[in-house]
């Protein structure tokens, strides 16, 4: 079995950690009897600086035939963040209808969390973030520019189809886990969009009587994530709320260097795209010290998606083993290892 994978390392540490994820995925492929055919794309802020575009005009078409996409991170000083985001990530997520952003979090062994006293099974959850609409919309504008009465408008878009399918995905996922879904709302402050979200959540919940459904204002939910994470399992949230909650979840489980994510097209009509939650970290780029674990775990999610679940599970076990041994940890984990040595240790443990 050969899987054709597009790799877009991007900028900064995206490049460093993607090499390591490929190393580990190739080791898993060799061991579990399938092969990965990689095609690399140089789409990035560096490309933008040279050509004026993050990716070619037919970028979406070029990627559409792949079985999956592994993305590093994009963004670099000198190129505005909305350029890198709207010039690559958001068009791909939308063109490929990757309307689920799946962000599993789990307290990994050997990591020091603010919640370090917790056992691993008390801190394991998955954030299902809506990935195609919501607060991240292009609708709005700047008015009366330069005048004292200048103002901006930024609209949110919540469609019945969009809200219903993400909530349904969360309930289906809950049936494979602990049968508990928590919805992030803020219907006290956002008086149109969030009551609508809540209404559809209640409608979908009624169709899943075997799953416990709960809703919580996003601010209280943020506090609960720190104070009582064992009371959460599947968390479903709008685009903006999910973005914020998943960085928080990453922070309490050993930091951004540990958190993977998937941009998933559940129908399988288009390729899904897997990436670390973190960005390109210009502050440590080029120093060889970025933690590659998040990107390696994103690679494991990619293998899960391709049906290579045994290999994916083996990668997660190897990551646990290396972190438990504690001999090859990058500086964010309190060690002195390099990106390459941590990646190689995971690949060796796998072999
Ligand atoms: P960031 O995630 O790149 O960095 C935040 C902090 O975490 C930095 O101090 C960084 O050194 C640290 N960090 C992140 N990943 C790490 C790793 N693997 N190992 C060790 N330390 C790590 O977020 P920031 O600084 O807000 O954004 C930097 C650039 O990345 C911006 O241009 C932003 O737009 C872009 N970005 C891109 C994303 C993507 O491509 N999906 C997501 C988030 C940000
Ligand atoms: Mg984010």
Confidence of residue 122 (pLDDT cuts 50, 70, 90): confident
Distance (Å) from CA 167 to ligand 1 centroid: 28
Closest ligand to Cα 295 = 1
Of all protein residues, whose CA lies closest to atom 41 belonging to ligand 1? 73
**Ligand 1 lined by 77 (C-beta under 6 Å):** no
**Ligand 1 lined by 75 (C-beta under 6 Å):** yes
pLDDT in the model for residue 96? 97
Overall CATH class of domain 1-104+256-351: alpha beta
Cα 294 from Cα 256, distance rounded (Å) = 7
**Ligand 1 lined by 13 (C-beta under 6 Å):** yes
Distance (Å) from CA 33 to ligand 2 centroid: 35
Q: What is the pLDDT of residues 304-337, one digit of tens each?
A: 999 999 999 999 999 999 999 999 999 999 999 9
Helices in the chain by DSSP H: which ranges? 13-32, 45-51, 59-63, 81-84, 90-95, 160-175, 193-206, 218-227, 239-251, 293-305, 309-325, 339-350
pLDDT in the model for residue 109? 81
Distance (Å) from CA 76 to ligand 1 centroid: 10
ipTM of this complex prediction, to 2 decimal places: 0.94
The tokens 């941590």 sit on which residue?
342
Q: What is the pTM of this model?
A: 0.90
3-state DSSP: the chain helix, strand, coil percent, rounded to 5?
45, 20, 35
Q: What is the pLDDT of residues 170-200, one digit of tens each?
A: 999 999 999 999 999 999 999 999 999 999 9
Backbone angles phi, psi at 343, to 5 degrees: -60, -45
Of all protein residues, whose CA lies closest to atom 17 belonging to ligand 1? 257
User: Where does the chain hold its CATH 3.40.718.10 domain(s)?
Assistant: 1-104+256-351, 124-251
The mean of the pLDDT values for the chain is 95
Tell the CATH superfamily of the 124-251 domain: Isopropylmalate Dehydrogenase (3.40.718.10)
**Ligand 1 lined by 344 (C-beta under 6 Å):** no
- Which atom of ligand 1 is nearest to 72's Cα? 40
DSSP string for residues in 219-265: HHHHHHHHH-GGG-SEEEE-HHHHHHHHHHHHHTTT-GGG-EEEEE-
């Amino acid at each position: 079995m050969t899987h054709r994978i597009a790799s877009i390392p991007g900028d900064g540490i995206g490049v460093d950690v993607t090499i390591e994820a490929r190393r580990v995925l190739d080791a898993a492929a060799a061991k579990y009897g399938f092969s990965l055919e990689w095609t690399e794309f140089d789409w990035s802020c560096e490309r933008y600086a040279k050509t004026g575009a993050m990716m070619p005009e037919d970028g979406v078409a070029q990627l559409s035939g792949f079985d999956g996409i592994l993305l590093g991170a994009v963004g670099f000083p000198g190129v505005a963040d909305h350029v890198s985001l709207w010039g690559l990530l958001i068009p791909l997520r939308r063109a490929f209808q990757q309307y689920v952003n799946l962000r599993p979090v789990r307290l990994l062994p050997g990591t020091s969390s603010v919640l370090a006293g917790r056992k691993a099974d008390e801190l394991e959850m998955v954030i299902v973030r809506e990935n195609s609409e919501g607060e991240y919309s292009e609708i709005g504008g700047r008015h009366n520019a330069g005048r004292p009465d200048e103002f901006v408008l930024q609209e949110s878009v919540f469609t019945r189809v969009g809200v219903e399918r993400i909530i349904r995905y969360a309930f289906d996922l809950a049936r494979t886990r602990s049968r508990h879904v928590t919805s992030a709302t803020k219907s006290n402050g956002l008086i149109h969009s969030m009551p609508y979200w809540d209404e559809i959540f209640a409608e979908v919940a009624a169709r899943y009587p075997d799953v416990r459904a709960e809703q919580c204002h996003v601010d209280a939910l943020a506090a609960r994530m720190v104070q009582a994470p064992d009371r959460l399992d599947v968390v479903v949230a709008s685009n903006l709320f999910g973005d914020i909650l998943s960085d928080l979840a990453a922070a309490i489980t050993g930091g951004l260097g540990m958190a993977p994510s998937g941009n998933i097209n559940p129908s399988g009509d288009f390729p899904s795209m897997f990436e670390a939650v973190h960005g390109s970290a210009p502050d440590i780029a080029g120093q060889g010290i970025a933690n590659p674990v998040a990107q390696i775990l994103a690679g494991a999610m990619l293998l899960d998606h391709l049906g290579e679940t045994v290999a994916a599970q083996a990668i997660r076990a190897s990551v646990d083993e290396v972190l438990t041994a504690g001999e090859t940890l990058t500086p964010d984990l309190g060690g002195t290892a390099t990106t390459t040595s941590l990646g190689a240790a995971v690949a060796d443990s796998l072999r």
